[in-house]
Amino acid sequence: MKISKDEVEKIAHLARLEINDLQKKKMAGQLSNILQYIDKLKDADVEGIKLSSGAAFMNNVLRDDKLQASPGPVVTLANAPERDEDFYTVPRVVK
Amino acid sequence: MEYHELTIDNAVKLLLKHEISSFDLASALLDRIEKHDEKIGSFITVDKDLVMEQAKKADKDIAKKNTSALTGVPIALKDILCTRGMKTTCASRILENFIPQYDGTVVKKLKGNGAIIIGKTNLDEFAMGSSTENSAFKITANPWNTLYVPGGSSGGSAAAVAAQFCCGALGTDTGGSIRQPASHCGVVGLKPTYGRVSRFGLVSYGSSLDQIGPITKNVKDAALLLNVISGNDKMDSTSAKVDVPDFTKAFDKFEKGSLKGMTAGVPKEYLSVDGIDPEVEKVFNNAKKIFKDLGVKIKEISLPHTDYVVAAYYIIAPCEASSNLARFDGVKYGLREKSSDDIIDMYKKTKSKGFGPEVQRRILIGTYALSAGYYDAYYGRASKVRTLIMEDFSKAFETCDFILTPVAPAPAFKIGENIDDPLTMYLTDIFTLSANMAGIPGISIPGGYSSKGLPIGIQMMAQRFDEMSLLRAGFGFETTIQLGKKFPDL
């Protein structure tokens, strides 16, 4: 699969990345190269094979529905780059 | 014996016998780091005062006979493991000043067992890479030859153990990131079974693949660390509810002939891989001979889907990464690019400034593969291939106790040699990725040297939760092979 510069821009937007024109061209080349290699997966015979999402035991892990102390805002917000007392603040969301 | 030469096993014994103090041991290692780490670059953070404080406390505990498995022993941690009150950067600009409010489970267990955290080691950013060149902060050099990479992504931990800056270290392994740097640095690296060790407090990269494990000077030390870090944890629902044996029992009553009756499988597909270095083949053939001499039966086996492993992995891991790394959005922690007037722009500026090129590349691959219309062709297909890879291993283990392979197709390469060619770098992971895909344990043990004097390891893989077989066979191999010099001069 070949990836164009425009597609890189589209994926970058979905991933919330900002890529300048020069990088876009380089990235398109590198991604195309990687995806062309990955195309070999098309040769694998997966007819009727189930999908594995991992090697963990597939059992539910439940705990008793008991109240537990929360770390509280002092701990939770300790690393907030910007905050207003007990709230995270962000730039404008609605235009 | 000098302080820096101590293994975990030796250090524990001497500390308990009051022949050395933790204070002297830790001071000697800090001096060594100060003197030599400028040229190796294995550490991102070393807090000397904190180290000495821990050492003094350990000495008091020893005096009071209030000791645990690792009391007073300095251990290094890959800087992707959360340490309360101590920077945890993942070698990324986006977490450059991140100070966790909690200890990861393995960190808690190490501290609870008296270990001293001597420092946080360098890595490929978010553990994405095979050379530690993707760190945002520094290059780590191979202690055997500083022109060469130490491997990655746990290159800082492997280099710190090889340079004898610590008694042992923890790394993490998503596709070989413990075993490959251990091989390149001439030390032992063990990736436990998926679920053996809690991942709570390990910053996630590929959650279905990630596992924390020891990087040590010898096999026995790997067992000692594994004893401490293993076990079910309610904070990680993928950690397995299985018994944790005393892994040092693997060495009980060990003598020549102890491995008789074991069978080692050698996958025929691995030796026909393109570009396998003749020096790696030589070390591998010598390993086969050693196991044969130890009474192990060598048997050719087949892992028919080997040719798809790299392709399937480099879909699954980036898909998981693109999802996991979405959390670094400049809101809750880490970097925020402040010159934005709306939130989408803030996300974009923050991520683009905070993530390095390899991380961005993997996020883009993962986002692409998971985007509308491509899911079945990429993630779906790769996950089905993963099933086939798992089945290959299940079948193979019906006829052998462990699988013997090289760790990497070639010894360490020169710093800078592959940096602009990501695909070539990915292809070097061919022998290690399968263990993560199948969730099985794997160990890398020093097996010899290249003509340039760079270490070359051998890999063994076993069935899920059978780390015992790896440790036992590995111990037999390690005590038989004549390696000559075990650690580099700095």
Domain spans, chain B: 3-260+404-480, 307-382
**Chain A residues close to B335, C-beta within 8 Å:** 81
**Chain A residues close to B207, C-beta within 8 Å:** 54
Q: What are phi and psi of B267, to 5 degrees?
A: -70, 120
Alpha helices in B2-121 (DSSP H): 8-16, 22-40, 48-63, 105-112
**B78 part of the active site:** yes
Distances (CA, A) of B285 to B49, B279, B344, B447: 48, 10, 56, 10
pLDDT reading at B114 higher than 80: yes
pLDDT at B419: 84
pLDDT greater at residue B484 or residue B233: B233
Give the range among A58-62, B57-61, B122-126, B292-296 with minimum mean pLDDT.
A58-62
pLDDT at A63: 87
pLDDT in tens, B65-106: 999 999 999 999 999 999 999 999 999 999 999 999 999 999
pLDDT at B165: 98
Find where tokens 């746990």 sit: B154
State which H helix or E strand residue B440 sits in.
Answer: none
Average pLDDT over chain B, rounded to whole? 97
Confidence of residue B41 (pLDDT cuts 50, 70, 90): very high
Q: ipTM > 0.90?
A: yes
- Which amino acid, residue B457? G
Active-site residue, selected from the candidate residues B177, B198, B239, B444: B177
pLDDT at B340: 85
Cβ-contact B439, B458 below 8 angstroms? no
Domain spanning B3-260+404-480: CATH superfamily: Amidase signature (AS) domain (3.90.1300.10)
Note the CATH number of domain A5-43: 1.10.20
**Chain B residues close to A39, C-beta within 8 Å:** 311
Q: Please list the residues that pair with A83 across neighbouring strands.
A: A88
pLDDT at A32: 96
Alpha helices in B397-466 (DSSP H): 422-427, 433-438
pLDDT in tens, B283-299: 999 999 999 999 999 99
SS3 B462: coil
Contact: A49, B387; criterion CB under 8 Å: yes
Contact: A81, B382; criterion CB under 8 Å: no
In Å, how far from its chain's centre is CA B103? 19
Nearest to residue B180, comparing CAs of B438, B444, B357?
A: B444
Contact: A34, B334; criterion CB under 8 Å: no
Q: Please list the residues that pair with B456 across neighbouring strands.
A: B448
Contact: B381, A17; criterion CB under 8 Å: no
Dihedral angle sign, alpha carbons of residues A25, A27, A28, A34? positive
pLDDT reading at B410 higher than 80: yes
Nearest to residue B150, comparing CAs of B172, B113, B125, B183?
A: B183
- B419: which 2 tokens? 């940096």
User: Distance (Å, rounded) from C-alpha B79 to C-alpha B69?
Assistant: 23
Tell me how close the Cα of A32 comes to any Cα of chain B, in angstroms.
Answer: 10
Instruction: Give the mean pLDDT of A78-94.
Output: 93
Q: Which of residues 253-312 of B touch A (CB under 8 A)?
A: 305, 307-308, 310-312
Q: Please list the residues that pair with B212 across neighbouring strands.
A: B172
Tell me how close the Cα of A67 comes to any Cα of chain B, in angstroms.
Answer: 15
**B153 part of the active site:** yes
pLDDT reading at A1 higher than 80: no
pLDDT at A55: 87
SS3 readout for A25-60: HHHHHHHHHHHHHHHHHHHCCCCCCCCCCCCCCCCC
Indicate left, alpha or beta for B199 from its phi (over 0: left) and psi (-120 to 50: alpha). Answer: alpha
Active-site residue, selected from the candidate residues B21, B130, B135, B153: B153
pLDDT at A2: 87
DSSP B188: E
Indicate left, alpha or beta for B6 from its phi (over 0: left) and psi (-120 to 50: alpha). Answer: beta
| A53: preceding bond cis by omega (within 30 degrees) | no
Cβ contacts of residue B317 below 8 Å, gap of 6+? B174, B175, B205, B206, B209, B362
Dihedral angle sign, alpha carbons of residues B159, B160, B164, B168? negative
B439 in A contact zone (CB under 8 Å)? yes
Instruction: Give the mean pLDDT of B342-370.
Output: 97
- B411: which 2 tokens? 């010894």
Instruction: Give the mean pLDDT of B161-184.
Output: 98
Q: What are phi and psi of A82, to 5 degrees?
A: -145, 135
User: Distance (Å, rounded) from C-alpha B420 to C-alpha B58?
Assistant: 46
**B177 part of the active site:** yes
- Which amino acid, residue B373? G
Cβ-contact B89, B95 below 8 angstroms? yes
pLDDT at B40: 98
User: A–B: how many Cβ contacts below 8 A?
Assistant: 170
Percent of chain B residues past pLDDT 70, beyond the cut: 100
Percent of chain B residues past pLDDT 90, beyond the cut: 95
**Chain B residues close to A53, C-beta within 8 Å:** 208, 383
Contact: B334, A18; criterion CB under 8 Å: no
Distances (CA, A) of B360 to A27, A31, B309, B446: 9, 11, 22, 34
